[in-house]
Amino acid sequence: MLNLTIDIIISIVAASIVMLVHELSKYYFSLSMLHPIYRKRKDLKVNLLKYIDPVGLILFVFTSVGWQKPGEYNPIQFKDKEKGFFFLMLVGMAANILLILALIPIFMNFYGTTRTVIGSYGITFVFRLIQYSFALIIVNLLPVPPLDMAKMIYSINPNFYFKMIQNERIIHAVFILLIAFNILNAFVMSLFTPIQQFLI
């Protein structure tokens, strides 16, 4: 029971960190993209909880696949309204990739060498950060509003995006079915398996 509780805590903390890395990187990058007129109105202080999606967090804990609560951005306020919004959506995924690349050497250096219980939990925590970061990237590559790929589509082809929005309920229904029938989880884990085999 204690091990299960600690495992759940590790998963919650790891998932929260992965979400925050994804969204905070976008938020602070967006400040550099803003037109000077709007930059003065932005606050450097951020409410971290607004990026934690409760449903996404629960799914991370129990299925290893979830999502963050995307921040809201107005591309009209950017210096480059088209390219700026597109690249902003890439920043979150790039931040998760960098986190994975930073953690892989740590995991490989300590995996199998730790003899303490605390060390074992530490390795589990690092692995979850890698696993959840990868899952978050894949989920955000799906054209599901309001996740990153949908917003990238908006920046490239607004007309197609608005057609997507008209069918948003259908898209969300399909997305929920993919989760309910474990199809999304199986897909993401099939992509992650080569990385896991490389690590272990």
Q: DSSP states of 110-134 as a string?
A: HTTT--SHHHHHHHHHHHHHHHHHH
Residues 6+ apart with CB under 8 A from 83: 155
Q: Which amino acid is at 35?
A: H
pLDDT means per 10 residues in the chain (200 residues)? Answer: 89 98 94 76 78 97 96 85 87 97 95 85 96 98 96 93 94 95 96 93
Give the span between the Cα atoms of 90 and 10, in whole angstroms: 27
